[in-house]
């Protein structure tokens, strides 16, 4: 792996997020708000896990600085240095696998991943999407909810499969849609509930309460027929 393509930003690792052996690799492209929520939950003892690395495809992602502040190894893998999506994904996979993570967390990673990459991490990779799936897959979810005059909106944490935003849903966070909402105000409330449900999803996976079993979810050793739900108060 070329140092010009992937470089570590971590200068020290004296501050540990946890002593637990359950390992996460978090992949980002931007600000890293959901990354911070997970870091905070680990540092408070709510999640018994460790973040082994944070990887970004953008060198200017503020989430890298968040990782540095918590003593987490931060890596840059610049997608613009690759000739194809597949070539980037192969290098990303190789980088992730050096950490042997139990879970890969997509936290604002703004790229569509190739099928072979997703299948390599079948049952080990989760994402958060700003809608109550299966409603509003893809982009512009808040405006679409407003246009359809929905009374509720929210976010969903789900396992990643090759089909976009279609994996098994772990937990959903619900917010009420207000009469005077616009795209920004609704998005702000959805972000708040995201910061609750994403750490909770990581927590129950790290504790072994939630298991991915051949494409089906088991919660406390029983089939999970519906996603967990949390409403913003």
Q: How far, in Å, CA of 202 to CA of 205, rounded?
A: 5
Catalytic site residue from 79, 120, 129, 200 = 129
For 206-222, b/e burial (b = at least 16 CB within 10 A) is: beeebebeeeebebeee
Active site residue 120: no
Tokens of 171: 């937990």
Closest CA to 200 of 178, 174, 220, 171: 171
Q: Give me the residue label for tokens 């958060």.
A: 128
**CB 190, CB 196: distance < 8 Å:** no
Closest CA to 28 of 71, 69, 60: 60
Q: How far, in Å, CA of 159 to CA of 63, rounded?
A: 22
Query: 133 vs 4, 137, 168, 215, CA distance in Å?
Result: 39, 7, 10, 17
Closest CA to 198 of 10, 36, 84, 5: 36
Q: Can you tell me whether residue 117 is helix, strand or coil?
A: helix
Mind telling me the catalytic residues? 129
């Amino acid at each position: 792996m070329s140092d010009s393509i992937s470089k570590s930003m971590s200068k020290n690792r004296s501050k540990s997020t946890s002593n637990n052996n359950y390992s996460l690799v978090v992949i980002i492209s931007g600000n890293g708000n959901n990354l911070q929520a997970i870091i905070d939950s680990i540092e408070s003892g709510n999640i018994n896990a460790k973040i082994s690395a944070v990887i970004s495809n953008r060198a200017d992602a503020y989430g890298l600085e968040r990782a540095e502040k918590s003593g987490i190894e931060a890596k840059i893998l610049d997608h613009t240095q690759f000739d194809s999506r597949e070539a980037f994904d192969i290098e990303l996979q190789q980088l992730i696998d050096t950490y042997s993570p139990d879970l890969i967390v997509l936290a604002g990673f703004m790229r569509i991943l190739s099928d072979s990459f997703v299948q390599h991490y079948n049952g080990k990779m989760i994402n958060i999407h700003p809608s109550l799936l299966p409603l509003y897959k893809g982009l512009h979810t808040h405006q679409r909810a407003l246009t359809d005059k929905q009374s509720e909106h929210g976010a969903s944490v789900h396992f990643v499969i090759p089909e976009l935003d279609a994996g098994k849903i772990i937990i959903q966070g619900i917010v009420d849609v207000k009469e005077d909402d616009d795209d920004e105000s609704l998005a702000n409330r959805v972000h708040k509930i995201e910061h609750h449900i994403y750490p909770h999803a990581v927590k129950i996976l790290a504790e072994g309460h939630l298991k991915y079993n051949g494409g089906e979810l088991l919660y406390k050793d029983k089939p999970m027929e519906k996603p967990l739900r949390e409403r913003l108060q």
